[in-house]
Amino acid sequence: MEILGIDIGGSGIKGAPVNSRSGKMTAERKRIPTPNPATPEEITDTFAKIVKYFNWSGSIGCGFPAVVRNGIVGTASNIDKRWIGQNVCQLFTEAAGAETVVVNDADAAGVAEMALGAGRGNKGVVVIITVGTGLGTAVFSNGHLFPNTELGHILIDGIIAENFTSDAVRKKEDLSWKKWTKRFNVYLAEIERLLWPDLIIIGGGVSKKQEKFFKYLEKKTKVVPAKLLNEAGIIGAAMARKFF
């Protein structure tokens, strides 16, 4: 069965049809820059453009950069605050003319990595960290997802973690990879202290640049790059329909 997977990120909205059994994308992805401001109207319109591009009428799964509970948006760190309280599932379903399941974007990426990527077969505590415009997290224990963890928003010395060590911050402050990784190590140490994971998987945009920073990592836990790289969000969004 093919499902259209759509990944809504802070800088780009990407989508592609995905074989829900194999997790393979069956067409080249389509990417449109994320609108600024990322209001409900603008994001919904861009979402609909992705659907229209593929002339899609079947099922859709979407990863969204916020807490999503029963279809309702609960946070808005990297999108417009007017999203809070909106029923994103209803908005997207109406815009697409097709049933759409919407989940937290890091959870979607985590589902893909656990099923097909670096977490496959791991029965311990696994933390997936997506590093891009913000910091997203997905936490699995014995293969079971604990949704909407949003551990990119923990405080480190009084600063929200993603405001301290996201990839967007690295670019904005023009940090070298070594200096940025020094900050990221502080974050990793806090994740280790809180969760005692057996495996940490680094995904998001920086997963394509592992050679730049993995050599500087300081950690107690095994840390590996995501195997599906930045495509995990699309694939996981399609596969996540089985879990939500």
Which long-range CB contacts under 8 A does 86-90 form with residues at least 24 apart?
Answer: 86/40, 88/64
128 and 179 inside one domain: yes
Tell whether 113 is covered by a domain. Answer: no
Kindly report the CATH number assigned to the domain that includes residue 58. 3.30.420.40
For the segment 22-49, what is each residue's pLDDT rounded down to a tens digit? 889 999 999 999 999 999 999 999 999 9
Tell whether 115 is covered by a domain. Answer: no
HSE, CB side, 13 Å, CA atoms: give it for residue 9. 29
152 and 200 inside one domain: yes
- Which of helix, strand or coil describes residue 225? strand
* pLDDT per residue rounded down to tens, the chain (244 residues): 899 999 999 889 999 999 988 889 999 999 999 999 999 999 999 999 999 999 999 999 999 999 999 999 999 988 999 999 999 999 999 999 999 999 999 999 999 999 999 999 998 999 999 999 999 999 999 999 999 999 999 999 999 999 999 999 999 999 999 999 999 999 999 999 999 999 999 999 898 899 999 999 999 999 999 999 878 999 999 998 766 6
238 and 213 inside one domain: no
82 and 144 inside one domain: no
148 and 56 inside one domain: no
CB 219 within 8 A of CB 188: yes
Q: Could you identify the residue written with the tokens 């791991």?
A: 122
Tell whether 97 is covered by a domain. Answer: yes
65 and 136 inside one domain: no
Residue 184 domain boundaries: 120-227
- Which of helix, strand or coil describes residue 131? strand
The Cα 55–Cα 195 span in angstroms is 43
Tell whether 112 is covered by a domain. Answer: no
Tell whether 114 is covered by a domain. Answer: no
Count up the domains in the chain and report the number. 2
219 and 132 inside one domain: yes
Tell whether 208 is covered by a domain. Answer: yes
Burial class (CB in 10 A: 0-12, 13-18, 19+), 150: buried
